[in-house]
Amino acid sequence: MVTPFTAQADALRKRLRPDGEERLRIGTVHTFQGGERDVMVFSLVAGEGMHQGAVEWVAGQLNLWNVAITRARSHLIVVGDKGLWRQRGGVGAALLEASERGAVAPGGGAEDVLLKRLYQTLSRPEEATVTLGETVHGHPADAVVRGVGGAAARAVLLDRGVEEDGDAARHLRLMLHRRNLLGGGAGEAEAARWPAWRLYDTDEQRG
């Protein structure tokens, strides 16, 4: 279980882990850096009556959101005020929308390793936020990358490769057509096609 605040982590440990049982790990984002869990419970804490500055602080902790979302191997459970995050927008609203429509939430899941890896590859907490499963201009995008500071959003299309016995030329034409439908208009960043093999190319990821 991960929470933005040390005080809540301490309170949860006293209530849920009185005997120091390590099977249930509770802490802030630093507790889970570099590690994964089968199930992650993400407590957003922020709710009605909370100081607006504290809500803004939680919403701006991009590394917290990134770690909480990507460390879940099979299940991500988010506990929070639906009304607040729906109204506020951002990553919280994207998680809520994904859960309500039964889509893959940001960070993906065990059922779609490629989408999870795409999210991890594109996520750069200090520079951009990433959401999965959005619709852009009426067409589905695998991911949308939004830069901080008002930079234009960019849609990303994951190219999973040609199906067995498929026509490679036709596949490429369709992918490029879908990419063109997702962006590149006036004031928009051109959509990107991301071949799946790049998700496993370490040199590309470092770049």
Q: Tens digits of per-residue pLDDT, 107-130?
A: 444 347 788 888 888 887 667 788
77, 42 Cβ separation under 8 angstroms: yes
Q: Taking phi first (over 0 means left), then psi (-120 to 50 degrees means alpha), and beta for anything else, what does residue 154 get?
A: beta
pTM for the whole structure: 0.46
What mean pLDDT comes out for the span 197-206?
61
Domain boundaries along the sequence of the chain: 1-108, 112-207
Fold of 1-108: Rossmann fold (3.40.50)
Residue 59 CA to residue 50 CA, distance in Å, equals 13
| 112-207 has the same fold as 1-108 | no
Residue 124 phi, psi dihedral angles, 5° rounding: -135, 90
pLDDT band per the 50, 70, 90 thresholds, residue 33: low
CATH number of the 112-207 domain:
3.40.960
Q: Both tokens of residue 125?
A: 């907490």
Q: Which residues contact 80 (CB under 8 A, 6 or more apart)?
A: 43, 44, 45, 46, 47, 92
The amino acid sitting at 185 is G
- Count how many residues are written for the chain: 207
Residue 10 phi, psi dihedral angles, 5° rounding: -65, -40
Q: Which residues contact 33 (CB under 8 A, 6 or more apart)?
A: 67
Place of tokens 């500071």: 149
pLDDT of 195 above 60: yes
What mean pLDDT comes out for the span 44-72?
78
